[in-house]
Amino acid sequence: MAKFGKRTTAARAAFAGKELVKVTEAVALVKDNAKAKFDETFEISMQLGVDPRHADQMVRGTVDLPHGTGKTVRVAVFARGAKADEATAAGADIVGAEDLMEIVQSGKIDFDRCIATPDMMAVVGRLGKVLGPRNLMPNPRVGTVTMDVKAAVEAAKGGQVQFKAEKAGVVHAGIGKASFTAAQLEENVKAFVDAVAKARPAGAKGTYMKKIAVSSTMGPGVSLDIANATGNTK
C-alpha cells in the first residue's frame, strides 16, 4: 500500500466523502489544502459527452476570465510591417515572420500563445507539426488568426484561456492561482463552465456535461454539482 506524507494524508482526509459539491464549497476545499511551497494553479477538468474525433462534436473556444489566470503569458506574433509594429506596441514578446519561423523550426519555442495575421498563414502552416502538438497553432476559430493584432495580444496577456476537447472528450485548463480570493476563483470557475456550455457543438447528443472537477496542482480533486456550476439551480 502506498504511503503518503502528512500534507497529502491531511488533504485526502479533508476531501473524503466530498462529491458533487457546490462551487463555493469546492473552492474552499481546494484553497484550504493547497499548501505546497509555491502558488499552486487552480485547475478545472470537464468530462463532456462528445467524441472529438468527429468534426461536428469538437469543442473549442476561448474565455476571458474575470480575474485572469495569475500566469505571465508570453506571446509570439507572426506579422509584417505595420502589424508587426502594432503587435510590439501591444506587448507581444516575440514578433517576426520568416525569421521567427526559423527559430521555431530550430526547436526554440519560448512562448505560450501564438498569433498570426491571415497573410502569414502560408509561413505558419509549415510549422504545423511543431506547433500543433503543443496546441499553439494559430486558429481563426479562437481568434489567433486575425488582423486585429492589438486586441488578440491584449486578450492573451489579460488572462484569456483557450480550451479544446482532448481524447475522450476531456477539457482541462488552469483558471487561477490558489492565492486568489475564493470569490475570484468562484467567478473564474463559473465563467469557464459557461464558455464551455456555450461551445456545445451541433453533433453533441444526450448529456453534454458529464462531470466537472476542480483541484490544485498538488492536491486532490473534488467534483462539482453541475447544476450549481452552470447556474441551473432553482
What number of other Cβ atoms are within 10 A of residue 25's Cβ? 14
Range of the domain at 60: 19-69+160-229
**Domain boundary at 132, 157, 182, which?**
157
Per-residue pLDDT at 18 exceeds 80: no
Say yes or no: 80 and 144 in one domain: yes
Say yes or no: 165 and 143 in one domain: no
Instruction: Quote the pLDDT of residue 234.
Output: 39
For residue 113, being part of any structural domain is answered with: yes
Say yes or no: 152 and 170 in one domain: no
Mind listing the pLDDT tens digit for each residue in 120-174?
A: 999 999 999 999 999 899 999 999 999 999 999 999 999 899 999 998 999 999 9
For residue 6, being part of any structural domain is answered with: no
Say yes or no: 34 and 134 in one domain: no
Say yes or no: 203 and 90 in one domain: no
Global pTM value: 0.86
Q: Give me the number of domains the chain comprises.
A: 2
What is the pLDDT of the chain when averaged over all its residues? 93
For residue 2, being part of any structural domain is answered with: no
Cα separation, 93 vs 76, whole angstroms: 6
Query: If you average pLDDT over residues 177-203, what whole number do you get?
Result: 97
Say yes or no: 222 and 115 in one domain: no
**Domain boundary at 112, 141, 157, which?**
157
Mind listing the pLDDT tens digit for each residue in 202-214?
A: 999 999 999 999 9
Say yes or no: 40 and 100 in one domain: no
CATH number at residue 225: 3.30.190.20
Residues 6+ apart with CB under 8 A from 5: none
Cα separation, 196 vs 84, whole angstroms: 32
Per-residue pLDDT at 106 exceeds 80: yes
